[in-house]
């Protein structure tokens, strides 16, 4: 597309911090030392996990770059960065987490496919940009819309990024239209991260940020946005990141029987100690994080030092004035960060509730993750 292109090789990759643990070189996938996640409330850009599916796109001309919004709408149009910059800017603190976070530990119980992540495929950042609800109003879609007049019910993000899983086609994913048009859901088209312009690894010049949802739906390097009837039919929506019972294996899996994973589940990890650390008897302070997706809060974090016989409640910390949709906690001795879910209108809650219940019902079963 004009202004931005996806390279065919890895000769123009950006520099990365030497402390990152590299889980795959091409495409580049890496995570920080777990201690970096609790060294500060907001994860520094250099220590934010890198999840990529191909060579990092190159921006040749930011002024000619545009995002084309089309599909089941009345007024399709190209939006240039000057159009995005002209909209009200919002800063949203949101945690992104790869759906494969902790896959290495999962594989110790039963082998799963995909990048072998430890506990650090997760980060908390302040994202700056325009709300998607405001952007969609520019093409005639009012706020809190569940369906367009032409029957559009989902918003698909299509990337400049090309990946082998799509047979050389673009990476893509979608979210429900009602979520995209709800200002209180804080879905952004972001052009800043931690107060600075996005860097190439994290989606420069423009990316989606969908708080409380697995990182796979926060598509980087946006090429186009499509309003469609059904959810995206891309590989990473239909043949990856779904949850199955232990009776399912790679030989009998039927991807069409499960919905794509959206909200990420409750997650908690100790970050001040490695899994193999031995410590001397006596007092020790431990720190870590806890997070929950979809606006659900973390009620408490308990820690055991005797294999689960007894437990002590950790303390939690939240940086004053920070709003997070998905309630992330960086637990330190249990210090951590906590926020209540945002208040939504009754109409928005009703429209989201049906989908949420369907997803949560499957959470009552034992799950196995298939993903890359």
In tens, the pLDDT along 206-248 reads 999 999 999 999 999 999 999 999 999 999 999 999 999 989 9
Task: Kindly tell me if the per-residue pLDDT of 9 is higher than 70.
Answer: yes
Average pLDDT over residues 71-99: 97
Q: What is the mean pLDDT of the chain?
A: 87
Q: Under CATH, which number does the domain 267-364 receive?
A: 2.60.40.650
Query: Which residue, 60, 56, 53, 33, is CA-closest to 273?
Result: 33
The structure tokens 């997650």 sit at 267
- The domain segmentation of the chain, as residue ranges, is 4-239, 267-364
pLDDT for 287: 92
Neighbours of 307 (CB within 10 A): 6
Query: Is it the case that residue 23 has pLDDT exceeding 90?
Result: yes
Collapsing DSSP to helix, strand or coil, 312 comes out as strand
Give the tens place of pLDDT for each residue, 99-112.
999 999 988 888 88
Q: Could you give the percent of the chain with pLDDT greater than 70?
A: 85
The pLDDT of residue 349 is: 44
Q: Which pLDDT belongs to residue 306?
A: 87
Please check the confidence at residue 89 and state whether its pLDDT lies above 50: yes
What superfamily in CATH does domain 4-239 come from? Oxidoreductase, molybdopterin-binding domain (3.90.420.10)
Q: Are 177 and 148 in contact (CB under 8 A)?
A: yes
* Pairing, β 222-228 against β 154-162: antiparallel
CA–CA separation, 231 and 174 (whole Å) = 6
pLDDT (tens digit per residue) in 176-187: 999 999 999 999
Instruction: Please say if the pLDDT value at position 319 is more than 80.
Output: no
Interior angle at CA 69, CA 67 and CA 71, nearest 5: 145
State pLDDT tens for residues 259-287.
Answer: 999 999 999 999 999 887 788 888 888 99
Residue 249 pLDDT > 60:
yes
Strand partners, 135: none
Decide: 65 and 4 in contact? Cβ < 8 Å: yes
Residue 321 confidence (pLDDT):
58
pLDDT on residue 221: 98
H or E segment to which residue 5 belongs: strand 4-5
Measured in residues, the chain has a length of 372
Chain center to CA of 57:
19
Is 80 exceeded by the pLDDT of residue 320? no
CA 34, CA 49: separation in Å to the nearest integer? 11
Tens of pLDDT, residues 121-179 = 999 999 999 999 999 999 999 999 999 999 999 999 999 999 999 999 999 999 999 99
Tell me what pLDDT residue 250 has: 87
Taking the C-alpha atoms of residue 3 and residue 59, their distance in angstroms, rounded to an integer, is: 6
Q: Are 99 and 241 in contact (CB under 8 A)?
A: yes
Handedness of CA 82, 86, 87, 89 (dihedral sign): positive
Confidence of residue 296 (pLDDT cuts 50, 70, 90): confident
- Asked if residue 133 lies in contact with residue 99, where contact means CB atoms within 8 angstroms, the answer is no
HSE-up of 144 (CA within 13 Å, CB side)?
Answer: 9
């Amino acid at each position: 597309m004009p202004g931005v292109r996806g390279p065919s090789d890895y000769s123009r990759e950006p520099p990365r911090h030497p402390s990152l643990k590299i889980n795959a070189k091409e495409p580049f996938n890496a995570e920080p030392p777990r201690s970096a996640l609790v060294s500060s409330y907001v994860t520094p850009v250099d220590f934010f996990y890198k999840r990529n599916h191909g060579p990092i796109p190159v921006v040749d001309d930011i002024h000619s770059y545009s995002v084309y919004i089309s599909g089941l709408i009345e007024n399709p149009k190209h939006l240039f960065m000057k159009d995005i910059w002209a909209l009200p800017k919002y800063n949203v603190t949101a945690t992104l987490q790869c759906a494969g976070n902790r896959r290495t530990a999962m594989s110790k119980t039963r082998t799963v496919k995909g990048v072998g992540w430890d506990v650090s495929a997760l980060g908390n950042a302040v994202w700056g940009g325009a709300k998607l609800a405001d952007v969609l109003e520019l093409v005639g879609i009012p706020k809190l819309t569940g369906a367009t007049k032409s029957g559009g019910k989902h918003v698909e993000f299509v990337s400049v990024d090309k990946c082998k899983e799509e047979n050389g086609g673009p990476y893509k994913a979608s979210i429900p239209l009602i979520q995209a048009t709800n200002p209180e859901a804080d879905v952004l088209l972001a052009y800043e991260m931690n107060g600075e312009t996005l860097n190439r690894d994290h989606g420069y010049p423009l990316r989606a940020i969908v708080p409380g949802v697995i990182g796979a739906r926060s598509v980087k390097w946006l090429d186009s946005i499509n309003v469609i009837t059904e959810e995206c039919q891309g590989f990473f929506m239909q043949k990856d990141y779904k949850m199955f019972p232990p009776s399912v294996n790679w030989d009998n899996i039927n991807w069409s029987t499960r919905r794509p994973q959206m909200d990420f589940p409750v997650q908690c990890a100790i970050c001040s100690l490695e899994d193999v650390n031995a410590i001397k008897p006596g007092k020790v302070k431990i720190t870590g994080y806890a997070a929950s997706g979809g606006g659900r809060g973390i009620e408490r974090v308990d820690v055991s030092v005797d294999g689960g016989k007894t437990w002590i409640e950790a303390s939690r910390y939240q940086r004053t004035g920070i709003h997070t949709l998905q309630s992330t906690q960086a637990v330190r001795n249990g210090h951590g960060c906590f926020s209540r879910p945002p208040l939504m209108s009754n109409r928005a809650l009703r429209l989201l509730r049906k989908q949420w219940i369907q997803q949560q019902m499957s959470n009552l079963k034992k799950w196995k993750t298939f993903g890359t």
